[in-house]
Structure 1
């Protein structure tokens, strides 16, 4: 089911390029509300420009931030204020998962790039007892409700871009250079696999 024609998609792409905003950062405050006030070691998987890792450092003793994109990781490294306990590295989150245990693991808009079950198993293995895992991910639209939510999101996204840029076209920030891919799992498939690997996990639409 296609919501927009190719011509409309191109027009929307031009609008979003002129009025960009960081969708991932929209969830950062929500993520922080899921975490303890203070914790020891944190891991941010798919750290991108490092915004979330820097926020985590305000509560953590130390933060390890990993991403597969060397360009965006180098940019994030340059933005670290002196003395901030954050380390950025270019890492394959499956083949070279940084050894824990971690009191907090976060993963935003990244898990659909990884083998889902393998990623969850590694998160579980490296999460400290009593630790907190927060994942913000994408799913493939399947149901009528999925497609309706997608349709509602299109004008909402455009409006947010306009408001965030105060109606003025803005240059886009440095973007990811690593290959991207669309989500291939539906929400129901994610629920089934996640509950098998992480019994008691809470899953919700945002």
Structure 2
């Protein structure tokens, strides 16, 4: 949410699932579209949250007919078969001057990745014992098909100047401001 550019008027949530991010975006932006391939999960999200355009389909092949000031995707990229094509597609859907934010899951391959994964495993156990557990309805892909290095390299080729952050629990964030 902190990455939303000033003056943003439209947002796209790719792989919206239960619609939580779309609802948060709707609190900040009037024009929000949410896409997911699962019709059942979209129906449940639409029943829960109003004021959002819900579209069932594959973002890789559907024609949306426009670009968006904010394109956001959480835990979706590892479900798409071609990493570079997926990053390119999300960049193409981002309007000039807009922002693309991806929070994803990646596979550990380096010592640093594995150590961060251990921290994540401990963190996960702590959260599981001390907090209410929320169960998402999305299918699980484990291990993630792409390594942190593969995601960084693909993003570097497609999204020049993208900011990269790596987090425990096998997560990363990419933030890219499309030149405007």
SS of 2:100's equivalent in the other structure is strand
Partner of 1:22: none
Assess, with a 3 A threshold, how the Cα gap between structure 1 residues 182 and 73 changes in structure 2: closer, same or farther: farther
- Is residue 48 from structure 1 mapped to residue 17 from structure 2 by the alignment? yes
Partner of 1:69: 38
1:39/1:61 contact within 8 Å kept: no
- Is residue 95 from structure 1 mapped to residue 57 from structure 2 by the alignment? no
Inter-partner Cα distance in structure 2 for 1:37 and 1:196: 27
Deviating beyond 3 angstroms after TM superposition, the runs of 4 or more aligned structure 1 residues are: 178-182
Inter-partner Cα distance in structure 1 for 2:78 and 2:3: 21
Q: How far 1:179 moved relative to its partner?
A: 6.6
Assess, with a 3 A threshold, how the Cα gap between structure 1 residues 148 and 119 changes in structure 2: closer, same or farther: same
- Is residue 188 from structure 1 mapped to residue 149 from structure 2 by the alignment? yes
Q: Once superposed, what is the RMSD of the aligned Cα atoms?
A: 1.9
SS of 2:166's equivalent in the other structure is coil
Per-residue CA distance 1:19-75 (angstroms, 9 max, x = gap) = xxxxxxxxxxxxx11213552111000101001000101121210000111221111
Asked which structure has the greater CA Rg, the reply is 1
Number of equivalent positions? 166
2:78/2:141 contact within 8 Å kept: no
Structure with the higher strand share, 1 or 2: 2
Inter-partner Cα distance in structure 1 for 2:63 and 2:72: 13
Inter-partner Cα distance in structure 1 for 2:119 and 2:92: 38
Inter-partner Cα distance in structure 2 for 1:180 and 1:68: 15
2:8/2:98 contact within 8 Å kept: no
- Is residue 151 from structure 1 mapped to residue 113 from structure 2 by the alignment? no
Question: How do residues 137-176 of structure 1 correspond to structure 2 at under 5 angstroms?
Answer: 137-165=104-132, 173=135, 175-176=137-138
Q: How far 1:119 moved relative to its partner?
A: 1.3
Inter-partner Cα distance in structure 2 for 1:68 and 1:183: 19
1:42/1:56 contact within 8 Å kept: yes
Gaps of 5+ in 1: 1-31
Partner of 1:135: 102
Q: How far 1:181 moved relative to its partner?
A: 5.0
Inter-partner Cα distance in structure 2 for 1:179 and 1:161: 18
Q: How far 1:180 moved relative to its partner?
A: 3.6
Inter-partner Cα distance in structure 2 for 1:131 and 1:62: 14
Gaps of 5+ in 2: 168-180
